[in-house]
Amino acid sequence: MRNPYRTQKIAFFLLLLATLLIVVPVGLIVVIIIQKGLPAINWQFLSDIPRQGMRAGGIFPAIVGTLYLVTGAIIFALPIGLLTAIYLSEYSKDNTLTRLIRLAIVNLAGVPSVVYGLFGLALFVIFFKFGASILSGSLTLGIMILPVIITASREALESVPHSFREVSLSLGASKWQTIRHIVLPNAIPGILTGTILGLGRAAGETAPILFTVAAFYLPQLPDSIFDQVMALPYHLYVISTQVPNVNEKVRYGTAFVLLALVLCMNLIAVIIRSKFRKKKKW
């Protein structure tokens, strides 16, 4: 007869191995990028335009471009996402419409990023005639991060205890007053977390901006929202596949800046979340 405890030992060892197979490479990736990317970072790299066909100089226009795009995306996605979340958590009833909305959100989250790129190209760039511009790119990214914001905000709103609402309503406040003055203030940390995660996602995506805004090489800052810009993820793609003989330092440096930007946003979100959990009074 097999010894069940020995089987358990072997099984647990294999499970540990599977876990290590995921976590160790993740650690390695981060370590490699920090180790090789950090030495490339200096003030000149961050504040100069790319030079010598992007083989030297800095990445300033790409950083600025990404910041513009992310800001634009959030300006568009936050109001719509938040109101959708309010609808789902406060107003909706359990009916077909609600199920349809939920299904639509699930699907928005699952649509491949390059398909968003196609959509942005067809709708914003060509149909609305915005051209390849910050506006087109921001709207495309905004729609893409909508599900992230909706899901997080909805969870935050729903975690506010029901009794809070009942007390407010019983004191004569209207439904909207209750939401505005009682539910929303208590849900802010959760909404903030979701928004920042959305920002991180928008900053790192390449495929949706390929045909809607990203410029291959544009060593100047944009004047209006109808200009093209360079963007960090696309710039990394370009210098690692499209341009031959790029100095390794420039590539790792760019990867480091992009990764640092995205991870910082995630870190902030995690900190807000855990602080909120500790302070939670209910």
Partner 1 sequence: MRKVKEFIIEKLILLCGLASILFVTLIFLFLLKEGIEVFKSVGFFKFLFGKSWYPISEPPQLGILPLILGSLLVTIGAAVISIPIGIGCAIYIAEIAPQKLKEILKAGIELLAAIPSVVLGFIGMVTLVPLVKSVFHLPTGLTALSGAIMLAFMAMPTIVSIAEDAFYSVPKTYKEGALALGATHWQTIWRVLLPAASSGILAAVMLGIGRVIGETMAVMMITGNAAVIPHSIFVPVRTLTATIAAEMGEAVVGSEHYFALFAIGIVLFVISFAINVTADLFLHKRQ
Q: Is 225 in the site for partner 1 (CB under 8 A)?
A: no
Q: What is the DSSP string of 28-45?
A: HHHHHHHHHHGGG--HHH
Q: Which stretch binds partner 1 (CB under 8 A): 38-46, 106-114, 158-166, 186-194?
A: 106-114
Q: What is the DSSP string of 108-169?
A: HHHS-HHHHHHHHIIIIIIIS---SSHHHHHHHHHHHHHHHHHHHHHHHHHTS-HHHHHHHH
One of 91, 166, 220, 226 touching partner 1 (CB under 8 A): 91
How many residues make contact with partner 1 (CB under 8 A)? 84
Q: Is 217 in the site for partner 1 (CB under 8 A)?
A: no
CA gap 152, 85 in Å, rounded: 8
One of 23, 38, 46, 171 touching partner 1 (CB under 8 A): 23
CA gap 146, 141 in Å, rounded: 9
Q: Is 266 in the site for partner 1 (CB under 8 A)?
A: yes
Q: Is 282 in the site for partner 1 (CB under 8 A)?
A: no
Q: Which stretch binds partner 1 (CB under 8 A): 40-48, 51-59, 143-151, 161-169?
A: 143-151
Q: Which stretch binds partner 1 (CB under 8 A): 40-48, 155-163, 183-191, 234-242?
A: 234-242
Nearest distance in Å: CB 104, partner 1: 4
Q: Which stretch binds partner 1 (CB under 8 A): 57-65, 162-170, 186-194, 204-212?
A: 204-212
One of 38, 46, 75, 115 touching partner 1 (CB under 8 A): 115
Distances (CA, A) of 207 to 5, 14, 25, 78, 111: 50, 37, 24, 21, 12
Would you say 134 or 197 has its CB closer to partner 1?
A: 197
Q: Which stretch binds partner 1 (CB under 8 A): 20-28, 48-56, 160-168, 182-190?
A: 20-28
Residues from 157 through 196 that contact partner 1 (CB under 8 A): 174-176
Residue linked to tokens 């540990």: 16
3-state secondary structure of 56: strand
One of 60, 68, 130, 211 touching partner 1 (CB under 8 A): 211
Residues from 35 through 64 that contact partner 1 (CB under 8 A): none
Are the beta carbons of 253 and 59 closer than 8 angstroms? Answer: yes
Are the beta carbons of 229 and 213 closer than 8 angstroms? Answer: yes
Q: Is 226 in the site for partner 1 (CB under 8 A)?
A: no
The token pair at 140 is 């495309």
Would you say 18 or 224 has its CB closer to partner 1?
A: 18
Distances (CA, A) of 131 to 85, 120, 123, 225: 31, 10, 10, 10
One of 8, 42, 44, 52 touching partner 1 (CB under 8 A): 8
Q: Is 128 in the site for partner 1 (CB under 8 A)?
A: no
One of 46, 106, 167, 171 touching partner 1 (CB under 8 A): 106
Would you say 134 or 236 has its CB closer to partner 1?
A: 236
Are the beta carbons of 227 and 193 closer than 8 angstroms? Answer: no
CA gap 174, 179 in Å, rounded: 9
